[in-house]
Copies of this chain bind each other. A is one copy, B any other.
Amino acid sequence: MSEILDIPEVVGLQSRSDVIRIPPDLDVPLTGRVRHLVDTAEFRRLVHISQLGLVSLVFPAAHHSRFEHSLGVYRTMLLYLQRLAHVPEFAAVIETKDAELMIVASLLHDLGHWPFCHPIEDMRLPGVPQHELFANSFLLEGEIADCLRDDWGINPRDVVSFLSEKGRTSKMKLMQSIISGPIDVDKLDYLQRDSLHAGVPYGRNFDQQRLIASLCVNQAGDKLALTNKGRTAAEMMVFARYVMFSEVYWHHAVRSATAMLQRAFFMLRPQLELDSLFRLAERPMVDTMLEAAGNGPARDLLDGLFGRSRRLYKRLFEYSHFDHPELFHQIARRPYDWLVDLSDQFATTLSRHLSRRVAPHEILIDAPPVKLEVQFNIDVLQQKSGKYRALGDVSPMVETLAKRQFDDYVKKVRIFIHPRLEESIGSDLEIESLFVDTVRSMFPETG
């Protein structure tokens, strides 16, 4: 038997002596050294950072914290290790200290998150850190660093490397692929957890136990893979992810809120001290931004999101790659300031046609960001032949989701307007051609 099975946290899955409970009725094994970590100030900071941020403006129960999610990821890691300890290719290279590093990393992987982290990162503005790097300050000093050294015998710098640097050895790559890859412990937890709290069935619709039962190692020994028994379970997970994006993460009202926050942040950025801002809990961060906004236009945007009553921007129109391929590619994956320029231009155009002033921030253009979400390149081991093949090769449906449906159908371009403008605008047909003209004017060389 692999010595991994003797690690106290893994043993806790069976002995069940000391646990903390999180939905859906899951027992998370605790040991003294895990309890120390989760009671530190740096870790408890995650209690006040919600997992889904603005999504709760649309799915009102989606208030769950990154604290809860981190416990879920840690538990999933224990389940993965329990299975992989029985996979010879894994057990042969992963020692107790490696597995313990993975356990600690699973618990701490979101330490660098700040409120509304994803929408802010998606803008790719200069001066905004990556949350993986932002975590280092919490990891390298303070209680967590002490606890890692004293309770776990782990050098905090190893956790930092593990979480934010690309591994150089096969073993390190294999270990990292379990925490960040197509079927990593993070996704397994967040799909289910986000879905549960949002009150929708979408992200729980896969066969987690079959997926775990089929975990193995790829041919090169540097990545998690699946046996063919798990192929369908992997398809289900890819599909669940697609549905969550389609119905929750890229829900039109969620995107409206996201566009509002991004524009406000963009306007306020020069006045904000990001390093301290990102250390705040959700509400204090909002308060800081409100203060910076004064009575300027960003105030109006923030009030609609965080003020006394909810007031989201309305969809003027939207389209996918499928509807307008050319227009889609002219806008998708552009730098954020280009989108702001475009919306400014469009506001000017609208002002002219509506014979009323349309302020620049009353028009928001939301488009697919640079970062692609899709990662399906996992290998599937055909147990009878011993050959490995890419999931996309043995599943046309995954290939289709990955190559076409995900980034081209789900992620739409949307133009949002301030609700007060809604009545001023009559038929939307003319609007669409006005928008096409405005976009064209941004590409003078091709005109």
Mark A residues whose CB is within 8 Å of B.
1, 5-6, 11, 14-17, 19-27, 39-41, 44-45, 47, 56, 59-61, 63-65, 67-68, 71, 82-83, 85-86, 143, 196-202, 205-207, 209, 212-213, 232, 235-236, 239, 242-243, 246-247, 281, 283-284, 308-310, 322, 394-397, 399-401, 404-405, 409
Question: Which chain B residues border A40 with CB–CB below 8 Å?
Answer: 309
- Per the bound structure, the CA–CA distance linking A283 and B282 in Å amounts to 10
11 contacts between A and B (CB under 8 A): A1-B5, A1-B11, A23-B196, A23-B198, A23-B199, A45-B308, A61-B65, A61-B68, A63-B64, A232-B243, A399-B400
Question: Which chain B residues border A235 with CB–CB below 8 Å?
Answer: 243
Do B400 and A397 have beta carbons less than 8 Å apart?
Answer: yes
Do A61 and B243 have beta carbons less than 8 Å apart?
Answer: no
Output the residue of A21, A196, A310 with the most chain B CB within 10 A: A21
- Nearest CB to that of A394 among chain B residues? B322
- Per the bound structure, the CA–CA distance linking A82 and B12 in Å amounts to 11
- Per the bound structure, the CA–CA distance linking A60 and B309 in Å amounts to 28
Do B196 and A17 have beta carbons less than 8 Å apart?
Answer: no
- Per the bound structure, the CA–CA distance linking A401 and B400 in Å amounts to 9
Query: Given A15-B83, A232-B243, A310-B39, A22 and B396 touching (CB < 8 A)?
Result: no
- Nearest CB to that of A404 among chain B residues? B396
Do A44 and B309 have beta carbons less than 8 Å apart?
Answer: yes
Question: Which chain B residues border A61 with CB–CB below 8 Å?
Answer: 22-23, 64-65, 68
Contact of A209 among B16, B281, B308 (CB under 8 A): B16
Do B27 and A213 have beta carbons less than 8 Å apart?
Answer: yes
Question: Which chain B residues border A206 with CB–CB below 8 Å?
Answer: 201, 205
- Nearest CB to that of A403 among chain B residues? B396
Do A6 and B15 have beta carbons less than 8 Å apart?
Answer: no
- Given A23-B199, A24-B196, A44-B309; 20 other pairs, CB 8 A cutoff: A14-B82, A14-B86, A16-B212, A24-B199, A25-B199, A27-B213, A39-B309, A39-B310, A41-B309, A47-B56, A60-B68, A63-B64, A201-B205, A232-B243, A236-B243, A395-B405, A395-B409, A396-B400, A396-B405, A397-B405
Do B15 and A86 have beta carbons less than 8 Å apart?
Answer: yes
Do A200 and B205 have beta carbons less than 8 Å apart?
Answer: no
Contact of A44 among B16, B83, B308, B395 (CB under 8 A): B308
Question: Which chain B residues border A200 with CB–CB below 8 Å?
Answer: 21, 25, 207
Do A6 and B1 have beta carbons less than 8 Å apart?
Answer: yes
Question: Which chain B residues border A27 with CB–CB below 8 Å?
Answer: 209, 213
- Nearest CB to that of A69 among chain B residues? B61
Do B309 and A21 have beta carbons less than 8 Å apart?
Answer: no
Contact of A63 among B65, B202, B243, B395 (CB under 8 A): B65
Q: How far is the CB of A426 from chain B (nearest CB, A)?
A: 15
- Per the bound structure, the CA–CA distance linking A438 and B198 in Å amounts to 52
- Per the bound structure, the CA–CA distance linking A86 and B17 in Å amounts to 9
Closest 3 pairs between A and B when the two form their complex, measured CB to CB = A41-B308, A16-B213, A205-B205
Output the residue of A5, A44, A232, A396 with the most chain B CB within 10 A: A396
Do B71 and A65 have beta carbons less than 8 Å apart?
Answer: no
Question: Which chain B residues border A24 with CB–CB below 8 Å?
Answer: 196, 199
- Per the bound structure, the CA–CA distance linking A11 and B395 in Å amounts to 32
Do A213 and B44 have beta carbons less than 8 Å apart?
Answer: no
Q: How far is the CB of A439 from chain B (nearest CB, A)?
A: 21
Q: How far is the CB of A317 from chain B (nearest CB, A)?
A: 9
Q: How far is the CB of A28 from chain B (nearest CB, A)?
A: 9
- Per the bound structure, the CA–CA distance linking A314 and B439 in Å amounts to 63
- Nearest CB to that of A21 among chain B residues? B199
Do B60 and A20 have beta carbons less than 8 Å apart?
Answer: yes
